[in-house]
Amino acid sequence: MAYASCRKICPATVEQLKRMQVVLDLRGETAHFVIVGYDPDNDDAAVWHQYRTERRLNRENGHFLSGSREATEQFASACGFEFWKYEEHVMRESRVVIFGSDGTQPAVLGPETLRWADAL
């Protein structure tokens, strides 16, 4: 999960995902990266499109999604993402959840996992 106006944690997380992509490419493996917006009031399809363009996230296996406030909160809870709004900022920890092709959740990576690409 991320939000487009984030200036610190989200960009760092996206950079980790890019490194994961490199590892997968070297192995000849494929994956889909799904970013779900924390801030559906501001992050619609047009904002995510701009975000992807500015950061050169052009691969077709990257998906940026937004939903209603209620759906966002339900999704975050189901995946173990805790967050809250403080003024215009979304407060949360950096976290990546990896799902297998069968839908199982083999790994949850957080700030304590320094080299996320090694978890693949």
For the chain, the domains span 9-94
Question: What is the per-residue pLDDT for 91?
Answer: 61
Question: What is the per-residue pLDDT for 113?
Answer: 65
Res. 6 pLDDT band, cuts 50 70 90: confident
Question: What is the per-residue pLDDT for 29?
Answer: 92
114 Cβ contact partners less than 8 Å away, ≥ 6 residues apart: none
| pTM metric for this prediction | 0.78
pLDDT tens sequence across 35-58: 988 888 889 999 999 999 998 899
Question: What is the per-residue pLDDT for 26?
Answer: 94
Does the pLDDT value for residue 31 go beyond 60? yes
Please tell me which of 5-14, 92-101, 102-111 the model is most confident about, judged by mean pLDDT: 5-14
